[in-house]
Amino acid sequence: MLAAPINPSDINRIEGVYPVRPQVPAVGGYEGVGEVYSVGSAVKGLSAGDLVIPSPPSSGTWQTYVVKDQDMWHKISKDSPIEYAATVTVNPLTALRMLEDFVTLNSGDSIVQNGATSIVGQCVIQLARFRGIHSINIIRDRAGSEEVKERLKAFGADEVFPESQLEVKNVKGLLSNIPEPALGFNCVGGNAASLVLKFLRQGGTMVTYGGMSKKPITVSTSSFIFKDLSLRGFWLQKWLSADKAKECRDMVDYLLCLAQEGKLKYEMELVPFDNFHTALDKALGKLGSQPKQVIKF
């Protein structure tokens, strides 16, 4: 293995609160990138020196050497940036699938999301922009929020609002020439999810893919009766288990190509393995808001 990220779901697996748990004893990590060291005599199509990722992703990437069957590995371009190859499967793929799987969006339409500074959020902004889709982004109130706003706008965000700015009756009055969104993404829950719902147009859909606040989603009766909103969920692991290996690899190649061309970017910090204690603290939020931690072996 060359590099592997620390994702929230990795922590949840270790805590024993994730729906799918590896058989113990187990090694952490679910995605990453490696270089082929050696192959068995019957292996064709892979050779020493090839750059590979586990696809679909699988447990055990937080270690220096991994032995798995040939069909578990997907060969990628040697020009792929290591940190993007290590992180392409879980977050960027989630962003891509959510944009394509729930509502038919056309150029000129819009989406709304909370958790806009997450990697999924950053990818949603950029992938939406490529399709001519406007993005309305909700961020937490915190020191430096103006700087965060500018960073997201540089990614292509049309509107960025701190939560406190949305404590008004008519949030749509804050939108200039952007149509009401038909699709919203929620990875926070609690009040942040309610703010996404406030923006949605009649018959809109909110897709939940995380719950960082650990607070439930509360929906008003009127949202269901008068706005006819739909609430859906997305779990990448379930999507991947539905015999999607080929489709997954095609999309990974597409996303890596965007990253290689500098068209898809997100904030990461490459950390030497010796500093994994600090990386873990950062990933757990003990040191404030931090970029995605990617362990380099």
> Is domain 103-233 given the CATH code 3.40.50.720 in the classification?
yes
Q: Would you say 156 and 122 are in contact if contact means Cβ atoms under 8 Å apart? A: no
Residue 246 pLDDT: 85
Q: Is 18 a catalytic residue?
A: yes
Sorted by where each begins, the domain ranges of the chain are 3-89+240-296, 103-233
Q: Give pLDDT tens digits for 107-134.
A: 999 999 999 999 999 999 999 999 999 9
Q: Would you say 130 and 108 are in contact if contact means Cβ atoms under 8 Å apart? A: no
Residue 242 pLDDT: 64
Residue 245 pLDDT: 80
Pick the catalytic residue: 18, 65, 84, 209?
18
Segments of the chain assigned E as strands: 3-5, 34-35, 51-54, 73-76, 110-113, 134-139, 159-162, 183-186, 205-208, 230-233, 268-272, 292-296
Fold assignment, 3-89+240-296: Quinone Oxidoreductase; Chain A, domain 1 (3.90.180)
Residue 168 pLDDT: 84
Task: Tell me the β-bridge partners of 242.
Answer: none
Q: Give pLDDT tens digits for 72-86.
A: 999 999 999 999 999
3-89+240-296 matches 103-233 in fold? no
Beta-sheet pairing, 205-208 with 34-35: unpaired
> Taking all residues of the chain, what is their mean pLDDT, rounded to a whole number?
94
Residue 95 pLDDT: 98
Q: Give pLDDT tens digits for 163-187.
A: 999 988 888 888 888 999 999 999 9
**11: pLDDT strictly greater than 90:** yes
Q: CA 156, CA 140: separation in Å to the nearest integer?
A: 19
Q: Give pLDDT tens digits for 188-213.
A: 999 999 999 999 999 999 999 999 89
Q: Would you say 100 and 130 are in contact if contact means Cβ atoms under 8 Å apart? A: no
